[in-house]
Amino acid sequence: MSRDQYLVLVRHGRTAWNAEGRFQGQADPPLDDVGWEQARRTARSLAGLRPAAIVSSDLCRAHQTAVVLGATCGLIPATDRNLREVALGAWEGIGHDEAAVRFPAEYAAWSAGADVRRGGGETQAEAGARVAAAVVRFLWRVRTDSPVVVVSHGLALQAALGVLTARGLVRLDTARPPHLTNGEWLVLPVSRAAHRPGREHAA
C-alpha cells in the first residue's frame, strides 16, 4: 500500500435470531426481511465510496449482506471463513435465560465482563486475532488505494478493531472499539505502515 486508503467494516443485517435475542455465534441463520432492507440501505449508502473489493464471512447472514453490496457496487464478493463470528459452542441458538440456567458460572462471568470461552467455543480475544489477521491479508492481497469492504459480525469486528488499532493499522475516534448494530458500517483510514502478513501474530 503506497498511501493511506480506507477500510469499510460492515456488520451483517438482522436475522430472526437477532430479533429474538438468541446467541448466534457460528450458527447460520439467514437474514430476515428487516435484515435484507438493512443490507439494501447500506449498499445504497456505500456505493458512493466506489469500493474496489468486498470480502465477507462465509456465514449466510454476512454473505447475503455482501451479495447485496456487491450487486449495487458492481462487485463479486469473496468469502473468508476466518471472518466468522466468535464461536459460542453450546450457547449457539439459545437465549439469555436458557444460557443463565444451563451455564450459570460462564454466564455470570460473561455478564460481569470476563472474556470467557462460552459453551466450549472461543474467547472474543481469540476471534479478534483471527479476524484482524484475515483483514490484513485481504488488504495486502487487493493492494489498492480505493476503499475495500469487509462484511463480518458484531463481536468479531469489535474485537478485531481492538487488535488493528493497537497495531496502528487503523485509527479510531472513540476510546473503545464500537459494537456495530445490524446493518451499521464504519469507515476507517488505514495507515500505510500496516503490518505485512506473517507478522499478525507477533503482537
pLDDT tens-digit series, residues 21-48: 999 999 999 999 999 999 999 999 999 9
- Residues with a known catalytic role: 12, 85
- Region 50-74: what's the mean pLDDT? 98
- Region 40-65: what's the mean pLDDT? 97
Question: Is the pLDDT at 199 greater than 50, yes or no?
Answer: no
* Mean of the per-residue pLDDT values of the chain: 93
Q: Are 178 and 158 in contact (CB under 8 A)?
A: yes
Q: Going edge to edge, which strands form the sheet with 53-56?
A: 78-79, 53-56, 148-152, 5-11, 185-190
pLDDT band at 197 (very low <50, low <70, confident <90, very high): low
For residue 159, the model assigns a pLDDT of 98
Angle at 147 between CA 27 and CA 81, to 5 degrees: 20
Burial class (CB in 10 A: 0-12, 13-18, 19+), 145: middle
For residue 147 the three cell numbers come to: 476503499
pLDDT tens-digit series, residues 121-166: 999 999 999 999 999 999 989 988 899 999 999 999 999 999 999 9
pLDDT band at 1 (very low <50, low <70, confident <90, very high): very low
Q: How far is CA 141 from CA 43, 78, 111, 194, 196, in A?
A: 23, 12, 38, 13, 10
For residue 201, the model assigns a pLDDT of 40
Q: Are 197 and 190 in contact (CB under 8 A)?
A: no
For residue 118 the three cell numbers come to: 462460552
Which pTM was predicted? 0.93
- Region 41-61: what's the mean pLDDT? 97
pLDDT band at 192 (very low <50, low <70, confident <90, very high): low
Q: Which CATH number fits domain 5-87+122-190: 3.30.9.10, 3.40.50.1240, 3.10.129.10, 3.90.1300.10?
A: 3.40.50.1240
Cα dihedral 153, 154, 158, 164 in deg (nearest 10): 20
pLDDT band at 200 (very low <50, low <70, confident <90, very high): very low
Q: Are 160 and 128 in contact (CB under 8 A)?
A: yes
Burial class (CB in 10 A: 0-12, 13-18, 19+), 28: middle
Helix (H) or strand (E) run with residue 187 in it: strand 185-190
* Percentage of the chain modeled with pLDDT above 70: 92
Helices (H), 31-123: 33-46, 60-73, 96-102, 104-111
Cα–Cα distance for residue pair 20/171, rounded to 1 Å: 34
Say which residues have a Cβ less than 8 Å from residue 3's Cβ, sequence separation at least 6.
145, 192
Q: Where are the domains of the chain?
A: 5-87+122-190, 90-121
- Region 11-26: what's the mean pLDDT? 98
